[in-house]
Amino acid sequence: MGKVWFVGAGPGDPDLITVRGRDLIARAGAILFAGSLVSAAAMRWAPAGCEIADSKDMTLDEIVAWLIARAQANEVVLRLQTGDPSLYGALIEMAQPLDAAGVELGVVAGVSSAMASAAAAVESLTLPEVTQTVILTRAEGRTPMPDGESLEDLARHHCTLCIYLSITLLARVVGALRAAGWRDDAPMLVVHKASWPGEERIVRGTLADIRDKCRAEKIGSQAMIIASPALGARRWPDLKKSKLYDATFTHRFRRASE
């Protein structure tokens, strides 16, 4: 019995897969990738003879059955997922039946679209004395949110919100932030297909106009929504700077020089 690896392919650009993930692709006997979200270009490192299949039209049971069958014939089998497998990746739903079948598994972390979106827009998700907290969440749609985790509840912290899987619910997102006390001039960022070569689009706006701007750009899928008091700080005339690099600050690697 071989080993099944859940590998985070990253946000879109195949060059953003980790070195470990790329090396596992090069050793794989079989790869099942999420074709609706993972670029087929990531398969360029697969060896000759590697069986490659797309899971976009498969059910969970079909995915698990495919992985188990290939693990019986190959030493290395990959489930290649978008972003990071531990975040909205149905990892545990697939791990349980693999455990029951006695199939060894491992996980390789990947770059999430929240980080790729911040990088694309040259934004920081945290900023000294502005926000030191990042919440990764989603708006409630067909999948209900647990008690206490509604977007409105989380938005009351007024920290950075990275909102996944919710671009079709943008009106609901805007309403939740308003209900939580965010002002209409609060900065908003939407990044469509972050890091995808030739497809990435960045939309900046405010709580008041972000829906209209996304509608004008016809963005209705595969988009990260970021709401944060730190957005736009690159253009602020005054910043509270990190103590780590402050000349008056002593730490174990450097004495204060002023």
* CATH ID of 113-234, from 3.40.50.300, 3.90.1170.40, 3.30.950.10, 1.10.1840.10: 3.30.950.10
Q: Give the pTM.
A: 0.92
**What residue spans define the domains of the chain?**
3-108, 113-234
Residues in the chain predicted with pLDDT less than 50, given as ranges, are: none
Helix residue ranges per DSSP H, 17-136: 19-27, 60-71, 91-100, 113-120
**Is-contact 156 180, C-beta < 8 A?**
yes
Mapping DSSP to helix (H, G, I), strand (E, B) and coil, where does residue 206 land? strand
Q: What tokens appear for 13 in the block?
A: 């650009």
* CATH ID of 3-108, from 2.40.50.180, 3.40.1010.10, 3.40.50.11720, 3.30.56.10: 3.40.1010.10
The backbone torsions φ and ψ at residue 251, rounded to the nearest 5 degrees and listed phi first, read: -140, 180
pLDDT at 254: 73
pLDDT at 95: 98
Could you tell me the CA-to-CA distances from 189 to 119, 200, 201, 206 in Å, in that order? 12, 13, 11, 8
The backbone torsions φ and ψ at residue 142, rounded to the nearest 5 degrees and listed phi first, read: -70, -25
User: What is the spatial distance between Cα 46 and Cα 73, in angstroms, rounded to a whole number?
Assistant: 17
pLDDT at 242: 77
